[in-house]
Every structure is written in structure tokens, then in C-alpha cells.
Amino acid sequence: MKLVILDRDGTINHDSDHYIKSVDEFRPIKGALEAIARLTQAGYRVVVATNQSGIARGLFTTRTLFEIHDALQRAAVQAGGRIDAFFFCPHAADAACQCRKPQPGMLVEVARRFNVAVEDTYMVGDAQRDVQAAAAAGARPVLVLTGKGRKTHAEGNLPESTQVFPDLAAFAEHLAP
């Protein structure tokens, strides 16, 4: 099985320093839904793995998060794609949990549940914590330059094997020409 793990905010949808707190605030990045469709149609399983500390901060509820993910799933299906699962860390940054990226726990759990070797899995994100989690888990780190990606790239210190693409659409085209 071929598996791609995607960060959500800044990779699939426009990010906000004030968090995405409702379905109305969720706005896909141009080409992202089509990229998910391209990956799906090329035989990849697509999973979203996202830190959502806004839950711990009381900015939105788990129910609201599920509503946002339902809307994302419907949009992906409309574009011809599918998201096979959503994994999220609801904890605050200071919680010291193993599921919050840059810790590898969430990615290891995705690989375990899908019964795939984590080293054969891509982790695509726009932040240092995404590529660090990929490297820590032994997955293939991919940085997109959307969201915080340009700033992350300019700061450097990326794991050595990190691939860089302008956006999710360019990554999907590379993986599934």
C-alpha cells in the first residue's frame, strides 16, 4: 500500500495565526483538493495528521473539528479524491505528549493502523514540526512552500532528506505524473 500523510493548515487549506475555528474559516489552497484527487487516483491512501491545540485552548470543540474535517472530506470527494482518515493531536504545546508534531507518535500510529512501513510513507507539511516529525518517525519529509513553508524553508535546519515543492499540487504531480 502507498500512503501519504498530509498536514492540514498551511498544506491543504490557508492557515491563520488565529486558528481555523469553524467550517466558514476553512479555505482550501488552490490546487490542493485536486492534488488529493490525483494522489487517490494514483492508488495512494491519503491521511491527514494535524496538531489542533485550539481544542486544548478552548477556541473550538472536537465536534467543530469533526465538522471541518467532514467539509474537507466532501470537498475532496467532489474533486475526485478521498481522505482515508484524520488523525489529530488536541493537546497544548506544553503537554509533552507523544502525538503532537514534532514528536513522531501520530505518524507512527498512522503507519501502524494502515499496516505500512513508516519509511515508505511521505509526510507533507509546511512547518518545521511536520518535517521533524517525519524524520523522527523515519518517514520521508516533504516541505511545501504554502502556509508557513517559505518562512520554514528560509530558516533552514530542515532534515537532510527533506524534499521541497511549491505546493501540494506540485508534490502530487511529482509523485503521480
What pLDDT, on a 0 to 100 scale, did the predictor assign at position 146? 98
What average pLDDT does this structure show over 132-161? Answer: 97
Residue ranges making up the domain that contains 113: 2-175
CB 46 within 8 A of CB 84: yes
Where would I find the beta strands (DSSP E) of the chain? 2-6, 44-51, 85-89, 122-125, 140-144, 163-165
Look at residue 174 and give its three-state secondary structure: helix
Which of 7, 15, 130, 167 is catalytic? The answer is 7
Integer distance in angstroms from the first to the last C-alpha of the chain? 18
What average pLDDT does this structure show over 151-165? Answer: 96
pLDDT band for position 123 (cuts 50, 70, 90): very high
Asked if 94 is an active-site residue, the reply is no
Q: Count how many domains the chain has.
A: 1
- Residue 30 one-letter amino acid: K
Name the residue with cell 494535524: 50
pTM of the prediction? 0.97
Q: Is 100 exposed, middle or buried, given 0-12, 13-18 or 19+ CB atoms closer than 10 A?
A: buried
Q: If you write DSSP's letter for every residue of 99-117 in order, what string do you get?
A: SSTTSSHHHHHHHHHHT--
Half-sphere exposure of residue 30: CA atoms within 13 angstroms, side-chain side: 2
pLDDT band for position 15 (cuts 50, 70, 90): very high
Asked if 7 is an active-site residue, the reply is yes
pLDDT band for position 116 (cuts 50, 70, 90): very high
Write the CATH number for 65. Answer: 3.40.50.1000
